Structure 1
Amino acid sequence: MKKEFLKSSNEQLKKFAEIVNRDKPLRQVTVDEKLKVGVDLGTSSIVLTVLDSKNKIVYGAYEYDHAVQDGIVVNFIESVNILRRLKEKAEKVLGRELKTACGAIPPKTGKRSAKVVANVIEETGLLCTGVEDEPTAAAKFLRLSNGTVVDIGGGTTGISVFKDNKLIHVIDEATGGFHMTLVLGGRYKIKNDEAEELKRNKNKESEVYAVIRPVVEKMATIVQNMGAEIIDPVIVVGGATNFTEFTTTFSKKLKRRVYKPPYPQFVTPLGIAIFDD
């Protein structure tokens, strides 16, 4: 299978990476046009994305955080404060108020988790229009009608299988980027904050990946254990996949081609915004 099926989404991701957290939007917006907002309350970061009515990228911002654990908000006030700052920054750059937003949760984490996410969003003055599951949001952005999305965040690995635009199977496992951080902390006998910084240091990537490869292999094993339920193409997204050798490890374990878009940490947040109708 050729990589052309990801071409459109790859181009959008590159555009988003150019404007995220900057002082200018991708284009100017009018005061009355419809804007769609996505809120991704992740374990390692909170991301706010803004699209227009045609699902074209307008703006985005993010902050690293420690307010969420395994995809569930554990520090409500910190989450609200971060999201409020992101909202205010976006409104300043866009020159207008944001009114609605959609959120997301890991698969099968329940109505209670969805309610907490909705409460965080609405505490900032936004009207929450819905809460989707994260891999489904990723598939929406990727325009994937048939295939498997493996969404690896800070705390969880969510796997969603799609056939004919329908979600036919979904699982969620408590393994993610935070577990990589724990392994690094144990290996070098450093605190989690230091290990997290080391993990994100691109200059140390080769050294870091050699240590955390077993965690990646465990993630791949979760997918492998689904056997015949997996449908190609397999696409990995999420901030924890941001290693050059990640897809190589996954492909070797699964014995099938695995794809990863550029800036995989932004796929799900952008997909969430599409649902803000």
Structure 2
Amino acid sequence: MSKEKLNYEFCEKLVQDFEDVVKEPIIGKSSVYYTGVDLGTACVVLTVLDENYKPVAGNYRYADVVRDGMVVDYIGAINIVKELKQELEEKLDTELIYAAVAIPPGTEGLDSGAVKNVVQAAGFELTNVIDEPTAANKVLKIKDGAVVDIGGGTTGISILKDGKVVYIADEPTGGTHFSLVISGAYNMPFSEAELYKRNPENYKELLIVLKPVVEKVSSIINEHIKDYNVKEISLVGGTSCLTGIEKIIEKQTGIPTYKPQNPMFVTPLGIALSCTQESI
């Protein structure tokens, strides 16, 4: 079995199980439900796990309520989370009480208050606030290496040694910048560029157009890992879905770079795994 497969065995199964329950929720009698709320720049994702931390339901919606990791439409964010929560509660025929949330690394003093308030105003009891790459590693389970979360607005980096985070950083380059480049290259409105970017059929041609931006992301990674002996990079986040992005980053960094089959749901699931029954 390959090293990559060993790294992602738990991750791939969890993500596949989640994708299955998004389509068809598992309605049962769990004593408690744990919810992860991922307020992404491009997408808001809710993941629901049962008492054994197994996926039972999920929902997501593309939105423009967060930019560069910061909540810019507070009321809009509350309404989306509240609506997604209510939809899931109707499907599961239960009340979702407990939730955890994630923020870009290093932004605790900047925006964690707004993120907390959004989750609480939507009707949840907030039990944990975790940084995004650390949340991702709850699913990846990497002992040594770097987790790079390329989201809509920012690229978050966590360096792990012996399973513990020893360094975190966040830089404002992500999917939004990819869309801006596409918008300019194809002379199309930003909203159309966003939709064009999400279509897997366009990935091959877009990789050529977006190569300079991916190289910028690579330079950000290089800057933050230069003082650490990083032997492996794992990519997560919706922007990492771009086919071939890992090859460019590996070439630019000189470090083996991998990603799960669907990197979009790794962080949201890690957030739910960090949820408890104790409010903060």
TM-score range, shorter chain: over 0.9
- Give the structure 2 partner of residue 144 of structure 1: 142
Cα deviation for residue 230 of structure 1 reads: 4.7
Q: What TM-score, normalized by structure 2, do the two folds share?
A: 0.94
1:93 and 1:224 mapped to 2: Cα distance?
Answer: 45
Which aligned pairs between 1:37-56 and structure 2 lie closer than 5 A?
A: 37-56=35-54
Segments of structure 1 that go 5 or more residues without pairing to the other structure are none
- Give the structure 2 partner of residue 163 of structure 1: 161
1:66 and 1:143 mapped to 2: Cα distance?
Answer: 31
Cα deviation for residue 235 of structure 1 reads: 0.3
Shift of the 105–202 alpha-carbon distance from structure 1 to 2, 3 Å rule, reads same
Q: What does the per-residue CA deviation read over 1:3-26, in whole Å, with 9 as the maximum and x for residues that have no partner?
A: 212111111112212232x3x31x
- Give the structure 2 partner of residue 9 of structure 1: 11
3-state DSSP of counterpart to 2:94: coil
Q: Does 2:175 align with 1:177? A: yes
Q: What does the per-residue CA deviation read over 1:130-175, in whole Å, with 9 as the maximum and x for residues that have no partner?
A: 2110000001121223221000000000000011222111111100
2:159 and 2:170 mapped to 1: Cα distance?
Answer: 12
Q: What does the per-residue CA deviation read over 1:115-137, in whole Å, with 9 as the maximum and x for residues that have no partner?
A: 11110001111111121100000
Structure 1 moving runs of 4+ over 6 Å = none
1:250 and 1:68 mapped to 2: Cα distance?
Answer: 26
The one-letter code sitting in structure 1 at the alignment partner of 2:19 is A
From 200, 215, 229, the counterpart of 1:217:
215
Given that 1:148 and 1:230 are in contact with CA atoms closer than 8 Å, whether structure 2 keeps it comes out as no
- Give the structure 1 partner of residue 244 of structure 2: 245
Could you tell which deviates more after superposition, 132-141 or 230-239?
A: 230-239
Given that 2:10 and 2:139 are in contact with CA atoms closer than 8 Å, whether structure 1 keeps it comes out as no
% same residue:
41
Segments of structure 2 that go 5 or more residues without pairing to the other structure are none
2:113 and 2:213 mapped to 1: Cα distance?
Answer: 31
Cα deviation for residue 28 of structure 1 reads: 2.5
1:126 and 1:198 mapped to 2: Cα distance?
Answer: 34
Q: What does the per-residue CA deviation read over 1:32-52, in whole Å, with 9 as the maximum and x for residues that have no partner?
A: 612111000000000000112
Q: Does 2:95 align with 1:97? A: yes
2:32 and 2:198 mapped to 1: Cα distance?
Answer: 36
3-state DSSP of counterpart to 1:210: helix
Cα deviation for residue 253 of structure 1 reads: 1.0
Could you tell which deviates more after superposition, 160-169 or 234-243?
A: 160-169
- Give the number of aligned pairs: 273
Q: What TM-score, normalized by structure 1, do the two folds share?
A: 0.95
- Give the structure 1 partner of residue 275 of structure 2: 276
CA RMSD of aligned residues (A): 1.4
2:186 and 2:94 mapped to 1: Cα distance?
Answer: 47
